[in-house]
Amino acid sequence: MKISGSNELLEQIQNNNLCVGCGACVGICPYFKAHKGKVAMTFSCDRTEGRCYAHCPGTETDYDVLANELFNKPYEEKPIGNYIKIYGAKAGEKAVNGSFQNGGTVTTLMKFAMEKGLIDSAVLTDSIDMIPDPQIVTKSDEIGNFSSTKYMASPTVSKFNEAIKMGHKKIGVVGTPCQMKAIGKIKSNPLDREEFKKPETFLIGLFCTWAVDTKNFIKLLESKTDISKIKSMDIPPPPAEVFILKTETEAIEIPLDDIRKIVPEGCSLCPDMTCEWADISVGAFEGRSGWNTLIVRTKKGEELINSAISEGYLTVEEFPDENVTHLTKGSVGKKKRGLAKREELMKSMDQNDNGSATAPSVVGFR
């Protein structure tokens, strides 16, 4: 697998509009910066191999390396990834209440993980004036401040890079599929750097169909309301086909088709809906408001969840077979769309320049 440098990253990913703004290339050198939801290279660099390229979720990826890192076995292509168990879940009676997006499973488990000493820090995502604002948190009672979904593509992985630099050894991260894939690549130390100190991680993946481009999202929201008045956002399950903004006085519906227009091109190549590269993955429980779907993927995730259940921090119920079927269908649908888009892109690259320089980049989205 060829690892290139920042110029190839620009040529293959940024210039093809495939950057999903995850922040994996930010915080490891002076050149890449995140600004208002966009990631940009501020100075040129002539290294022929760089971590920016190696860690990007859009560049070629060896899935066996990621699977060995997380599951201790080679990659097996499965509709919703590797898993041990699926639950319906929500914050239990001992958990602190909060303005959760769905059942509060994510906030509760991250807080529980810190209180139990599984992690010494957590990388979480807030927003300021609708601009995603990832941060490193070291006090468990601050974790609740980050609850709720910010639907914008966020440079969350930049803070994982920073947490490693700061010397944190047990890092929790909540993130979307592209962010988790980048974290798997970072942990595998693809450039074999001797000074790299691999942290222990506890990874909570979020289901994701797409995120939106921050700048265009703000423009769209400003055309609907005063954005300082927005209290929450949600996407009700199908067949609603709307995005809902809630202020203190009203609920504004935006057709999902208007939102889809501002999804970064890179999201359309992603084949991962259930966030497969994580210890546990969490999404909405369709048809069960106030609950989450919780996929337990690793032994570490299973142990934490069992303790959280037995200590009253998490309430779970069986996940019905028909919901597993529905989830599988949705996940396979995203894989098919991602692969089809990738084929289309590779063909167009072939036509443009015989595919020589740019085609390998999209292999990372298989």
Q: What does the binding site for ligand FAD look like in residue numbers (CB under 6 A)? A: 100-107, 124-125, 132, 146-152, 154, 156, 174-176, 206-209, 211, 282-284, 292
- Side-chain half-sphere CA neighbours of 123 within 13 A: 32
Contacts of 155 (CB under 8 A, 6+ apart): 21, 22, 23, 26, 34, 37, 39, 132, 134
User: Residue 223 CB, nearest distance to ligand FAD (Å)?
Assistant: 21
Q: Min. distance of Cβ 64 from ligand FAD in angstroms?
A: 26
User: Closer to ligand FAD at the Cβ: 177 or 360?
Assistant: 177
The number of beta carbons lying within 10 Å of the beta carbon of residue 297 is 26
Closer residue to ligand FAD in complex, CB, 105/201: 105
What ranges in the chain are assigned the alpha helix state H? 6-9, 51-55, 63-71, 105-115, 157-165, 177-187, 214-222, 256-260, 299-310, 321-353
| Residue closest to ligand FAD when measured from CB atoms | 283
Q: Whole-number minimum distance, CB 154 to ligand FAD, in Å?
A: 4
Output the six-digit token pair for 222.
């400003």
Q: Determine how many CB atoms are found less than 10 A away from the CB of residue 299.
A: 12
Beta carbon nearer to ligand FAD, 28 or 206? 206
Q: How far is the CB of 143 from ligand FAD (least distance, A)?
A: 7
CB of 305 to ligand FAD, least distance (A): 13
Distance of closest approach, residue 346 Cβ to ligand FAD, in angstroms = 26
- State in angstroms the smallest separation of the CB of 362 from ligand FAD: 21
Amino acid found at 175: G
Q: Are 19 and 211 in contact (CB under 8 A)?
A: no
Cα separation, 155 vs 103, in Å, equals 25
Residues in contact with 74: Cβ distance below 8 Å, sequence separation at least 6, in sequence order: 64, 67, 68
CB of 108 to ligand FAD, least distance (A): 7
Closer of 67 and 91 to ligand FAD (Cβ): 91
Among residues 171, 179, 143, 145, the alpha carbon closest in space to that of 26 is found at: 179
- What does the block give as tokens for 255? 């057709």
Q: Are strands 131-137 and 38-41 parallel, antiparallel or unpaired?
A: unpaired
Q: Residue 148 or residue 189: which is nearer to ligand FAD going by CB?
A: 148
User: Is the CB of 167 or the CB of 237 nearer to ligand FAD?
Assistant: 237
- Closest approach, Cβ 208 to ligand FAD, in A, equals 4
Give 146 or 313: the residue with its C-beta nearer to ligand FAD: 146
If 0-12 CB within 10 Å is exposed, 13-18 middle and 19+ buried, where does residue 116 land? middle
Provide the sign of the torsion angle of the four alpha carbons 255, 261, 266, 271, taken in this order.
positive
Closest to ligand FAD by CB, 101 or 298: 101
Q: Which is nearer to ligand FAD, 67 or 278 (CB)?
A: 278
